[in-house]
Structure 1
Amino acid sequence: MDKDEGQSKANIIMVTDGPAIPNPRERRLINAWSIALTGAILSLLLLCYAGPSSYREALLFLPDGILLTFKLTALAICCAVPLGLLTGLGRISRNRCINLIASTYVEVIRGIPLLVQVFYIYFALSQFLRIQGVPAAVIAVSICYGAYMGEVFRAGILAIPKGQTEAARSLGFNRFQTMFYVVLPQAWRTILPPVGNECIAMLKDTALVSVIGMPDMMQRARSFASQSYAYFEAYTVVALVYLIITLLLSKIVSVIEARLNYYDRRK
């Protein structure tokens, strides 16, 4: 493997099953993102106002679940992003002990499905420490996505040329100052899209917490379906709502990325 090939592989940032972030340079009015969003919104409106009343009732049953879903996602992001940063720094640390701990955490957590982690924290650990629903869900999602984000941060940091680090050190910066004042600000442009993707995937995966009785969107849809037996209508509505939310969030990430690129060009 030559040097250029190794560098290109080092710069690849893996993401999970989040939606594709719209290209910030995309100027066409009709594109995949706009078609998907328009189709989802129109479908939801047509079903609720032109279809059977069960669609409308299912949508009115969801607001509490939507709020809880956003609450869980926001709390998990606040925990997972710092954890991912620490993990990424640990993965590139020269300290063998720190590197081993961070690498082991990534390998173990990425090898266990999130659903199993939710069950383990809420049910298995309850034999020793009682953890309520919201904290258990936030801890499980944060630990799971902290490992994935750790790889994103590691790849983004390694994508910065070593010359930047050497230049900073030659100016008298220590390692901490070099990382947080020179490397990370440059790496953020590379890191932002996959981190945004992970956050959106995190929002979707909060649907798994319904298995522990958390009244999120999925659990609210299940409750409505069990009461009305309108399973098709309930799950169709919740699927469209999830789709609309994730598409809007992906666009927000795309706009932020475009702003960062714009400010970088002006510098």
Structure 2
Amino acid sequence: MAVSERNRSRDDFPWWLLVASGLAAAVAVLIAANGLYAQVFSVVVKGVGITIFVTLAGFILASALGLLLALMALSGSMALRQIARFYIEIIRGVPMLVLLFYVAFVGAPALVAAWNAMTQPLQEAGLMQSLQVRDISLMWRAIIALTIGYSAFLAEIFRAGIQSVDEGQVEAAEALGLTRFQRFRLVIMPQALRVILPPFGNDFVSMVKDSSLVSVLGVADITQMGKIYASGSFRFFETYSIVAYIYLLLTISLSIALRRLERRLRQEGSQGGSRARRSMS
């Protein structure tokens, strides 16, 4: 058995990561040594901050909305369940790029028109100025679109995780006198997190990649900076190779970090259950 475990450990060694790290180091040396690649990198890397901000803001908002939708889908109210189901099924059926255009060029003007209609008396009294469509930045329109799109998928992840918790434990927590919020915080979420984390992390990595869609609105992310440089220099191979390289650095680093966190949670699963029971007492 010891030999078998050693063989399995050797087979599970991340050789792919070793190869990928070698390639990443080779590309880094090329960027440092080649003036053209260094120039492309210096331009494209300016969009990293926007990409990270759009991803974090969109995913945090999508997570909050997705959790709310999951709780609505699991509530005792038929109306709330139907509203959540309608939202989830409709939004998941719309391509992200179409949703991005719709929010940016249909939703934003409609929101501005509705706001101006509601505040018209204040505007006429000189207490408030009318809102213009250009006052809503394209970056925030993109973040709202990503929030709406990803919230539907995250809602299903949250719902599956919550439903994976044994009903008997929830009933036991209720018998101990815990409030609904305490049951959710101390019993349900610690156990659901182990089920939620893998697909949750996958969606986070996917949003890093899908954030490149904001470039169609002119938002200066990594992809947009690459498009601007390539259109002016016609160095398409060098530019998009660097763009792909930066995205790979971001996504692979995130995947490794999330995989380690998942492994740690799996190893501490039994300890987490005992801690939750001690907290209830």
Identify whether the pair has TM-score above 0.5, normalized to the shorter chain: yes
Q: Does structure 2 retain, via aligned residues, the 8 Å contact 1:66–1:217?
A: yes
Choose which of 164, 187, 195 in structure 2 pairs with 1:182: 187
Gaps of 5+ in 1: 1-24
Partner of 1:202: 207
Partner of 1:113: 95
Q: 1:171 to 1:148 in 2, by over 3 A?
A: same
**Offset at residue 53 of structure 1 (A):** 3.4
**Offset at residue 229 of structure 1 (A):** 0.4
**Offset at residue 26 of structure 1 (A):** 9.3
Partner of 1:42: 25
Partner of 2:45: 63
Q: For 1:134 and 1:159, locate their aligned partners in 2 and report how far apart those are by CA, in whole Å.
A: 37
Q: Does structure 1 retain, via aligned residues, the 8 Å contact 2:108–2:141?
A: no
Q: For 2:107 and 2:157, locate their aligned partners in 1 and report how far apart those are by CA, in whole Å.
A: 29
Q: For 2:195 and 2:26, locate their aligned partners in 1 and report how far apart those are by CA, in whole Å.
A: 35
**Offset at residue 42 of structure 1 (A):** 3.0
- Match of 1:86, SS state, is helix
Q: Does structure 2 retain, via aligned residues, the 8 Å contact 1:37–1:244?
A: no
Q: Does structure 2 retain, via aligned residues, the 8 Å contact 1:84–1:148?
A: yes
Max radius of gyration: which structure?
2
Q: 1:32 to 1:158 in 2, by over 3 A?
A: farther
1:1-267 aligned at under 5 Å gives the runs 28-39=12-23, 41-49=24-32, 53-128=35-110, 129=112, 130=133, 131-266=136-271, 267=274
Q: Provide the aligned C-alpha RMSD in A.
A: 2.1
Q: Deviations over 1:18-38 (max 9, x none)?
A: xxxxxxx99954433443343
Q: Deviations over 1:75-128 (max 9, x none)?
A: 112201111111111122221111111111101110111111111111123433
Q: 1:235 to 1:80 in 2, by over 3 A?
A: same
Q: For 2:10 and 2:63, locate their aligned partners in 1 and report how far apart those are by CA, in whole Å.
A: 28
Count how many residue pairs are aligned between Structure 1 and Structure 2: 241
Q: For 1:157 and 1:26, locate their aligned partners in 2 and report how far apart those are by CA, in whole Å.
A: 36
Q: Give 1 or 2: higher helix fraction.
A: 2
Q: Which amino acid is 1:32 matched to?
A: W
Q: Deviations over 1:22-76 (max 9, x none)?
A: xxx999544334433433x1342254245x5332211111222001100111111
**Offset at residue 258 of structure 1 (A):** 2.7
Q: Which moved more, 1:54-63 or 1:222-231?
A: 54-63
- Match of 2:268, SS state, is helix
Q: For 2:100 and 2:145, locate their aligned partners in 1 and report how far apart those are by CA, in whole Å.
A: 5
Gaps of 5+ in 2: 1-8, 113-132, 275-281
**Offset at residue 132 of structure 1 (A):** 1.1
**Offset at residue 265 of structure 1 (A):** 4.1
Identical amino acids, percent of aligned pairs? 36
| TM-score normalised over the length of structure 1 | 0.83
| TM-score normalised over the length of structure 2 | 0.79
